[in-house]
Structure 1
Amino acid sequence: MSNKENTIFGIYPVKEAIRSEVTFDKVYIQKDLNSDKLTEIIDALEKDNVTINIVPIEKLNRLTRGNHQGIVAVTSPITFPSLETTVEAIIAEKEFPLFLVLDQISDVRNFGAIIRTAECTGVDAIIIQKKGGAPVTGDTVKTSAGAIFKIPICKVDHIKDAIFYLQGSGIHTIAATEKTESAIYDLELKKPLAVIMGSEGKGVSKSVLNLVNEKAALPLLGEINSLNVSVACGAILYEIVRQKSL
């Protein structure tokens, strides 16, 4: 799946995609281009919390060789079920449901690798924020090895609201962070659980850390003080698998 297959450009094709309720990941709009039709599109996209990037024309020319008319949209190859419906269905079916919350993961290959590991370790659903995170692109699909089509991915307006909802649904929340003395191996993980992983640069945001039930770290025995987020996520998820198998 190439990025070109996920790209729509031009005012009328994008408007038609909006009417057809196509799922957008990102939309690029030409800087300093005044157009009533573009303003109408922007208003419609903002209502759906679609990420809009105002960029120079050179960026649009790189994205497509066609007549883009000042707008290029990147669509998603998957649909995103609602958080509430997904969580309710999983809780009704599973004794120890497992959710993975990604707080602003920005690299599409990390995102794809995490999805692949999540599917392999029995994660029931992944939760991401509508704005600020990595889009679902052809690279994401490829890196996930197709796992992206096998696990529900829910988009929410704010990660904090998702945390509140999960906790209200009886899900214990654990954030992966180095800002704690608690090792992941010391925690009881055989329970309804949501693991929160943070962005590559900043980790889990402070506002989210203040909400979770527990924090957990992985031991680092070398001189480098951090792990790649997809590697850290895999280590944590397999500790959950280990404890569930006991």
Structure 2
Amino acid sequence: MAPADGSADSQEILYGLHAVREALKAGGRPLQRVLVLRTDKQFTDLVQLARSHRVPVHIQPISSLDRLVPNGKHQGVVALAAAKAYQTQEEILDRAAQRQEPPLLVILDGVEDPHNLGAVLRTAEGAGAHGVFIPERRAAGLTSVVAKASAGAIDHMPVSRVTNLSRLLDSLKAAGVWIYGVTPSAKKVFTDIDYRGPVGFVLGAEGTGIRSGVVQHCDECVRIPLRGKVQSLNVSASAAIVLYEVVRQREQDNYAAGRSTDSERTPLDRRLQ
């Protein structure tokens, strides 16, 4: 299986049709070779894509693929790659600046389940977030399981691994990012906040939530109202809810700005655009 720490100097195993295809398309990390059960039918386009990127393709029996991926959920495709490199805080903030967008960041505290991390990466990428921050210790790293769970989003979403979340939050606040902890005990509901500026959300693992020492470094805390008997949501569900509130507010703001600008033009101006 893939290494647990996602270090840049170790070999990583990717598996599953979608995860391998997205890694080839993104080109963010070199694939050393692709192993497939066969080269016809559902594997044809992936094999052609690999060869177009000059990645060697080898046909392997299913027993060999099963040894590489013991749970057997490889869909007949395994790729060997260098682990995805982590990025720095500066690189992630630069990404937002290059897009001319206020930073939208996700900070995870103690999320150890790789499936949850993969799901958060998928949600963050879909919402247009600029980066995800994870701690070095007691947290899932960028492994093949995470890549599979992210459905390819791992190749498009920058991830930074930091030694101390509290120092990270202070650094982000110094850079102008407003930090919100998402916790059930907060007084404010998440929809009561204006997220059109630079924003970072801190989310904790199910059950334990955000550590108190990390909460103290947040600017403010918000909660997601729960109307049923369940006291908490999966971290990826929580991420989706708050991130898409940001998307809603920013798109609404952009639409209103466009309408305002358009209303100031004469009919002739608009026709000549």
The alpha carbon displacement at 1:179 in A equals: 1.3
Matched ranges for 1:21-170 at <5 A: 22=9, 77-91=83-97, 93-170=99-176
Q: Percent identity among equivalent residues?
A: 28
Residue 29 of structure 1 corresponds to none
Do structure 1's residue 197 and structure 2's residue 203 form an aligned pair? yes
Matches of 2:205 and 2:175, distance apart in 1: 25
8 Å CA contact 1:83–1:155 kept in 2: the answer is: no
Change (3 A) 1:23 1:101: farther
1:245–1:126 CA distance, 2 compared to 1 (3 A): same
Q: Does the CA-based 8 Å contact 1:110-1:229 persist in structure 2? A: yes
Deviations 1:14-69 (A, max 9, x none): xxxx9xx61599xxxxxxxxxxxxxxxxxxxxxxxxxxxxxxxxxxxxx99xxxxx
Q: Which residue of structure 2 lines up, in the alignment, with residue 41 of structure 1?
A: none
Distance in 2, matches of 1:109 and 1:131, equals 17
Higher gyration radius (CA)? 2
* Matched letter for residue 147 of structure 1: A
User: How far 1:223 moved relative to its partner?
Assistant: 1.0
Question: Does the CA-based 8 Å contact 2:115-2:145 persist in structure 1?
Answer: yes
Q: Which amino acid aligns with 1:170?
A: G
- Structure-2-length-normalised TM-score: 0.63
**For 1:23 and 1:193, how far apart are their aligned partners in 2?**
33
Deviation at 1:103, TM superposition (A): 0.8
CA offsets per residue over residues 93-127 of structure 1, 9 Å max, x none? Answer: 43311011111111000000000000000000111
Is contact 1:121–1:238 with CA below 8 Å preserved after alignment?
yes
Alpha-carbon separation, structure 2, partners of 1:104 and 1:76: 25
Distance (whole Å) between structure 1 residues aligned to residue 223 and residue 169 of structure 2: 19
Q: Evaluate the alpha carbon distance shift between residue 164 and residue 84 of structure 1 in structure 2; reply closer, same or farther with a 3 A threshold.
A: same
**How much has 1:133 moved relative to structure 2?**
0.4
Q: 1:228 aligned to 2:234? A: yes
Q: Secondary structure at the match of 1:216?
A: strand
For 2:128, the aligned partner's letter is G
Q: Which runs of 5+ in 2 are unaligned?
A: 13-67, 70-80, 253-273
2:214 to 208, 212, 215: 208
Cα distance in 1 for residues equivalent to 2:158 and 2:171:
17
CA RMSD of superposed structures (Å): 2.6
SS of residue matched to 1:220 = coil
Extract unaligned runs of 5+ from structure 1.
Answer: 9-17, 26-62, 65-74
Equivalent residue number for residue 191 of structure 2 = 185
Query: Take 1:199 and 1:171, find their aligned partners in 2: how far apart are those partners?
Result: 22
Q: CA deviation at 1:85?
A: 3.4
| Cα distance in 1, alignment partners of residues 184 and 241 from structure 2 | 14
Instruction: State how many pairs are aligned.
Output: 186
| Alignment partner, residue 240 of structure 1 | 246
Distance 1:162 1:146, change over 3 A: same
Q: Give SS of 1:96's match.
A: coil
> What residue number does 1:52 align with?
none
